[in-house]
Amino acid sequence: MANRKQTNRRDFFENVSAGAAGMALAGIFSTLNASLMAGPQRPTYESFDMSNLANVVREPNVVEFKPWKSMHASITSPMITAWGARDVPGSKLAIGFAYVERPETLGGATHSHAHDQWIFLIGGNSKNFLDFDADCEMLLGDKVRKINYPCYFYIPANTPHCPLEVKRIGKPLVFIDARI
């Protein structure tokens, strides 16, 4: 019987990779690495079914919020949204509120739309909305805007924007998306 000496893992993998088994193993590692590099698949707004989401009109022009679950993993608290004309005929304001507790990419891929939009980022961990402790970046037009203070982004119609990258959160923040 031949005396085979394998002194370390590198020698082992060099010997294994020389044969057909090594080729199969390399293929498996390659597939695993590709799926790990791709990361978790995030849902898109296009794939998110909002048809069952509805508030309750309690009396003319008075609407009770009904909570809904975000498609983003960082938003674990129930969200609320005023649906504009979908809630009350003639209403033009659509606005949503979310509580963000950990870093995530929000807002989908870079896009634009035919309406103006406002995105507010404010402190959500105390009675003071100015108590903001997060680092965020968002493409707005042709420039990535970096913020670490409470603010709102005004996004004129047809302006490319997003994604909103919440890079670090020291304290939870409130995310508000408004449009007319």
Q: Does residue 2 sit within a domain?
A: no
Domain shared by 22 and 100, yes or no: no
Domain shared by 97 and 17, yes or no: no
- Band the pLDDT of 45: cuts 50, 70, 90: very low
Output 142 or 52, whichever has higher pLDDT.
142
Q: Does residue 1 sit within a domain?
A: no
What's the structural domain count of the chain?
Answer: 2
Domain shared by 32 and 121, yes or no: no
Tell me the pLDDT of the chain averaged across its residues.
77
Q: Does residue 89 sit within a domain?
A: yes
Q: Does residue 73 sit within a domain?
A: yes
- Band the pLDDT of 158: cuts 50, 70, 90: very high
Which CATH number do you get for residue 155?
A: 2.60.120.10
Output 71 or 152, whichever has higher pLDDT.
152
Q: Residue 132 is part of which domain span? A: 45-179
- 26 pLDDT exceeds 70? no
Distance CA 30, CA 33 (A): 5
Q: Does residue 75 sit within a domain?
A: yes
Question: Span 141-157, mean pLDDT?
Answer: 97
How many other β-carbons are positioned within 10 Å of the β-carbon of residue 29? Answer: 11
Q: Does residue 135 sit within a domain?
A: yes
Domain shared by 77 and 17, yes or no: no
Q: What is the 3-state secondary structure (H, E, C) of the chain?
A: CCCCCCCCHHHHHHHHHCCHHHHHHHHHHHHHHHHHHHCCCCCCHHHCCCCCCCCEEEECCEEECCCECCCCCCCCCCEEEEEHHHCCCCCCCEEEEEEECCCEEECCCCECCCCCEEEEEEECCCCCCCCCCEEEEEEECCEEEEECCCEEEEECCCCCEEEEEEEEECCCEEEEEEEC
Domain shared by 85 and 32, yes or no: no
Q: Does residue 3 sit within a domain?
A: no
Largest Cα–Cα separation, the chain: 91
- 23 pLDDT exceeds 70? no
Domain shared by 21 and 109, yes or no: no
